[in-house]
Amino acid sequence: MCYIIYVGIDDTDSSEGMCTTYIGAVVMDELKSCGYRVLGYPRLIRLNPFARFKTRGNGAVSFKLLIKSEDEFETAKNLIINRVKELSHRQEENTNPGVVFYKVKTDNHNALIDLPSELEDYALKTVQNIVTIKEAEELAVKIGAEIHKIKKGRGIIGALAAIGCPLPDSTFELLAYRLPENYGTKRRMNYDSVRKMDEETFPCTFDNLDEEEGYIAIEPHTPCPILFGIRGETPDCVDEAHAMVELCEPVEKTAVFLTNQHTDQHLIDIDQISDMEKYKCYIIEGRVSRNPYVIEGGHVIMTLQDDSGSIECAAYEPTKGFREIFKELRKGDRLKVYGGIGDKGTLNVEKFQIIELANDYKTINPICECGKRMKSAGKDKGFKCKCGRKLRDGEKVREEVERKIEKGFYEVPPSARRHLSKPLVRFKINKKKTKNLR
């Protein structure tokens, strides 16, 4: 008889640095060096991107330990909690770590263990909705999980979710960590090798770079311990890609995580715009009821409508060239839109599918009998032509315009993609290229 201990950790980082995945990797390495056995791949679970108190990447980690006695469990537990306390950015007001232990007795640690359905339901809720500390505490009591709150302990919310999150779809991410003395300095790697790696491993790995924006997407732009992260479909392909990246600084350690990243697990497929709420993410179908327009800051806004109501949809400035595609939408276009709603009630668009294109028209001056285009003769004075003819009661005529976009899927660039948003390459769909937009 032995025990499998599920360990969940969350809310250890801040805007100034640290990373929960790094703390997880440090803890697992120390446990292994003490003779403990870590089972399978650790998990990195991204939670609701619109949660009010989210961490920088809003990701929690978990892993499984094989334990043979209560004494071993106590020793491991103390090691884990002490390390989380030591490495977390507890000096930051909004960093409130949590650690969760869930113990399962088993005769066969290789057997598939069914976690409580309540835990899975709860975990999915943390990805798609807002969850309170009280809810996490009540669930822990119900299923017999042991929770440890550091400061306010908000991290127990994500720590429980990382243990129980179902993964009907999943990806892997290999993370390479810097030496502590290099934190906060410019990351050093051969970018040409990243481009070559992408050419040779895509689409098994994806979102390595953003060609249009000249952005190296595997490289974080924060003072965290991560040197780079490679995302892919299998552990083998991220390992292979890692070996191709030429580095100009040493790596402290690497870890491969099983994750819900890029699975669209945060999205709720609904039928009516009127049912949408703030701080949730949706898939919704409707028609464009107002042509796109640009607001201060370079953000592009359009209005989507169905029989139940309407909502403003935004392509924000960080989505760069995606905004040019967004501008080409027209009133009457039927769309399926994927995105989330923040404080202002606007749908932040991650991608969309054009199901049906409306006809687009422009109004132009009429043609003269001589075959030339007429000009305005002045306000309420009709039109005139170089040939001398006048058309006093004439009106502008409507002419259909060729659309620059076509039916199909469009997405934001990798530089603006949310951790949970599923890129079109994972749908096995070729995203559309627009004509003459840039």
Domain ranges of the chain: 2-164, 171-259, 267-357+403-427, 360-401
Q: At what angle do helices 156-164 and 117-128 cross, to 10 degrees?
A: 120
Question: Which of 164, 129, 169 minimizes the C-alpha distance to 276?
Answer: 129
Share of the chain above pLDDT 70, in %: 98
Question: Which of 10, 6, 14 minimizes the C-alpha distance to 24?
Answer: 10
Residues 6+ apart with CB under 8 A from 167: 43, 258, 260, 263
> Which of 187-201, 292-306, 361-375 shows the lowest mean pLDDT across its residues?
361-375
> Which of 47-56, 157-166, 195-204 shows the lowest mean pLDDT across its residues?
47-56
Judged against a pLDDT cut of 60, whether residue 436 lies above it is answered with: no
Judged against a pLDDT cut of 70, whether residue 430 lies above it is answered with: no
pLDDT attached to residue 386: 87
For residues 273 and 271, what is the distance between their CA atoms, to the nearest angstrom? Answer: 7
For residues 59 and 330, what is the distance between their CA atoms, to the nearest angstrom? Answer: 37
For residues 264 and 258, what is the distance between their CA atoms, to the nearest angstrom? Answer: 15
The band of 362, judged by pLDDT with boundaries at 50, 70 and 90, is confident
If you average pLDDT over residues 328-340, what whole number do you get?
97
Reported as a single tens digit per residue, the pLDDT across 340-359 is: 999 999 999 999 999 999 99
> Bigger pLDDT: 201 or 390?
201
Judged against a pLDDT cut of 50, whether residue 437 lies above it is answered with: no
The DSSP 8-state label assigned to residue 363 in this structure reads E
The band of 236, judged by pLDDT with boundaries at 50, 70 and 90, is very high
Q: At what angle do helices 156-164 and 133-143 cross, to 10 degrees?
A: 50
Judged against a pLDDT cut of 80, whether residue 276 lies above it is answered with: yes
If you average pLDDT over residues 287-305, what whole number do you get?
97
Q: What is the mean pLDDT of the chain?
A: 93
For residues 345 and 417, what is the distance between their CA atoms, to the nearest angstrom? Answer: 20
The band of 435, judged by pLDDT with boundaries at 50, 70 and 90, is very low
Assess contact for 363 and 396: CB atoms under 8 A: yes
- Using DSSP, state whether 382 is helix, strand or coil: coil
Tell the burial category of 168 from Cβ atoms under 10 Å away from its Cβ (0-12, 13-18, 19+).
exposed
The band of 144, judged by pLDDT with boundaries at 50, 70 and 90, is very high
CA dihedral in degrees (172, 174, 175, 176; nearest 10)? 180
Query: Percent helix, strand and coil across the chain, each rounded to 5?
Result: 25, 35, 40
Judged against a pLDDT cut of 90, whether residue 9 lies above it is answered with: yes
> Which of 288-292, 321-325, 365-369, 432-436 shows the lowest mean pLDDT across its residues?
432-436
Give me the architecture of the 267-357+403-427 domain, per CATH. Answer: Beta Barrel (2.40)
From residue 410, give the alpha-carbon distance in Å to each of 302, 405, 423. 15, 10, 10
Amino acid at 171: T
For residues 345 and 273, what is the distance between their CA atoms, to the nearest angstrom? Answer: 12
Residues 6+ apart with CB under 8 A from 416: 316, 318, 319, 320, 322
Judged against a pLDDT cut of 90, whether residue 322 lies above it is answered with: yes
Q: Which CATH number describes the domain made up of 171-259?
A: 3.90.600.20
Q: Which residues of 241-264 are buried (b: 16+ CB within 10 A; e: fewer)?
A: bbebbeeeeeebebbbbbbbbbbb
Considering only the top CATH level, what class is 2-164? alpha beta
Share of the chain above pLDDT 90, in %: 80
- Using DSSP, state whether 351 is helix, strand or coil: strand
Q: Which helix (H) or strand (E) holds 195?
A: helix 191-201
For residues 23 and 66, what is the distance between their CA atoms, to the nearest angstrom? Answer: 19
Question: Which of 386, 335, 340, 348 minimizes the C-alpha distance to 365?
Answer: 386
> Bigger pLDDT: 203 or 376?
203
From residue 299, give the alpha-carbon distance in Å to each of 195, 293, 315, 338, 416. 30, 8, 6, 17, 13
Whether the pTM exceeds 0.85: the reply is: yes
